[in-house]
Amino acid sequence: MSSNSEASFTFSDLFAGIGGFHAALHAAGGTWAFASEIDPDAARVYDYNWLRPLRERGACLPEGVEEFRVSGDIVPLTDPEVLVPRADVLAAGFPCQPFSKSGFQRGMAETRGTLFWNIARILQDEKSRPAVVMLENVRNLAGPRHEETFATIVRTLRQLGYRTADRPAVFSPHLLPRELGGRPQVRERVFILAHYVGREAAEREENFDEPIVTPKTYETDWRKESWDLERDLPLQPDDEVPGSYFLESAESKWIDTWDRLLTEVAGNLGPGERLPGFPIWADEFRTLEEAEDRIEIAALRGEPYPVWKRTFLLKNAQFYERHAHLLDKYRLELDAFPASRRKFEWQAGPHRPLRDTIMHFRPSGIRCKRPDYVPALVAITQTSVLGDRRRLTPRETARLQGLPESFEFRQSSSTTVGSVAQKDGASYKQMGNGVNVGAAYFVFRQYVLKHAEEIGEQAPGLVAAIKSSPSNPDLALS
């Protein structure tokens, strides 16, 4: 680890994807020491954007590192022998598998068979043990269904000598203003941060911290409603976007029909009424009596509907009875749509034309939202649709994840010199799987500043680097 007070530190990047953690830690003053990523497409994009520049400028290799490359599967690199080099910081957006023995308080033994166990092996080995750990996972890891899983992770970290909070930091980039690296994307993620203090100190109750930040504890004058996607992302001008990103005629037809239907319904609402927030389902445009009969028949057959579906059917029946004279005019058009496009979910507040919303074409239906910030990018093809025009481009999704403009969706070639452009499907998937740079940077920087005295005993260069780093990672990445 760092042995002087120079403002520098090294980091390892596990389950690295295309390098969201790399961007955040590089912006904080860190130097790459190791990366592991099992997906070959993501690994080649990581190499092209982060390691190729190091090779081309003849950068010095970190101590104990033989070459600038992305290693593959982390499992053979940690079991039975740990082959990961030492670094000041270890970052890992690890997959969250169930811990089959969770709850028996067996520490590392409980994690065997999960990829968290491979992280724990690195932390256990004195030759590779980092000063600070930053783990990232989906929001559900902090939910009630995963209490035992999270408790096992915390218990294991403490047994390995790492001071960590009883609860995780939960944060999203849309809660940060642009000048702190925020982005107009709702992307709540769990961050588990810990630093090495030895087992005795780590298991002391007075060291059981509160999480460094949560949506409820983070105080700022910034309001998420202040985002403007076109201004703050910013969106690319339509005349600079290739035609392949614009909607097909069938998709435009779906939007146009729902837009006309919703506009008529909105004009039929009474004072104080709003468009329904529940999914409108054209297949269930029937009277309340018909809906109740359907529910009763299903129950008599011994196949009762679950509560959510009964509620859903009754609400749609009530909606239909209220607006039947309008809805019946659209039956033929809607019946011709694919099943998933006969459902519509309004989440955009007071009525507005669909061209002024953001939409998702989901397997469960079309969903629209206000045009301020977008839902979380996902690793499947549900790219946000801008009004009645087009989808977000890969470049715009990279901006949503806080990656610099220099970042490219290109892969270092494994067979020839140079690189190859990547297909959009892989790019969208990688952005959906990625960590947001601004959120990771903010949480990590706050944590190191809070625990600077203890962390400085292990990695003084890390603390010095964080204290001299800008509050906005964009300034270091531009």
pLDDT at 298: 93
Query: What confidence score (pLDDT) does residue 416 get?
Result: 57
Mean pLDDT of 378-394: 86
Structural contact between residues 422 and 42, judged by C-beta atoms closer than 8 angstroms = no
* Res 3 pLDDT > 90: no
What pLDDT score does 111 carry? 58
pLDDT at position 449 over 90: yes
Q: Exposed/middle/buried for 174, CB within 10 Å: 0-12, 13-18, 19+?
A: buried
Q: Which of 16-25, 57-66, 325-334, 423-432 has the lowest mean pLDDT?
A: 57-66
Question: CB of 88 within 8 A of CB of 130?
Answer: yes
Residue-wise pLDDT for 185-231, tens only, equals: 999 999 999 999 999 999 998 888 888 887 776 767 788 888 998 89
**Residues paired with residue 195 on neighbouring β-strands, in sequence order:** 132, 163
Q: What DSSP character marks residue 154?
A: H
Q: Give the Cα separation of 180 and 477 in Å (integer).
A: 13
Instruction: List the domains of the chain with CATH numbers.
Output: 9-225+412-477 (3.40.50.150), 237-278+320-392 (no CATH)
Long-range CB contact pairs, 328-334, < 8 A, 24+: 328/285, 330/257, 330/260, 330/261, 330/282, 331/282, 331/285, 333/257, 334/257, 334/282
348 near 368, Cβ under 8 Å? yes
Q: How far, CA to CA in Å, does 172 sit from each of 115, 362, 441?
A: 24, 22, 12
Q: Supply the pLDDT for residue 114.
A: 81
pLDDT band at residue 371, thresholds of 50, 70 and 90? confident
Q: How do residues 135-174 score in pLDDT, each as one tens digit?
A: 998 888 888 777 888 888 999 999 999 999 998 899 999 9
**Mean pLDDT calculated for residue range 394-422:** 89
Which amino acid, residue 80?
P
CB count within 10 Å of CB 109 equals: 11
CA distance linking residue 124 with residue 126, whole number of Å? 6
- State whether residue 136 is helix, strand or coil: strand
Q: Is the pLDDT of residue 179 over 60?
A: yes
DSSP structure string for 345-367:
EEESSS---GGGSEEEEETTEEE
Percent of the chain exceeding pLDDT 70 equals 93
Mean pLDDT along residues 457-461: 95
Please give the model's pTM, rounded to 2 decimal places: 0.90
Q: Which residues are catalytic?
A: 96
Which residues are CB-contacts of 145 (< 8 A; sequence separation ≥ 6)?
none
Phi then psi for 218, rounded to 5 degrees?
-80, 120
Q: Enter the DSSP assignment of 377.
A: P
- Say if residue 19's pLDDT is above 50: yes
Packing angle between helix 437-450 and helix 460-468, nearest 10 degrees? 120
Residue 311 predicted with pLDDT over 50: yes
Do 370 and 348 contact (CB within 8 A), yes or no? yes
Contact 400, 384 (CB under 8 A): no
Whether the Cβ atoms of residue 371 and residue 357 lie closer than 8 Å to each other = yes
- In terms of C-beta density within 10 A (0-12 exposed, 13-18 middle, 19 or more buried), how is residue 298 classed? middle
Percent of the chain with pLDDT over 90: 75
Q: For 66-117, what is each residue's pLDDT tens digit? A: 899 999 999 999 988 999 999 999 999 987 666 544 444 455 555 555 888 8
CA 103/CA 25 separation, integer angstroms: 34
DSSP line for 29-42: TEEEEEEE-S-HHH
Structure tokens at 281: 């389902």
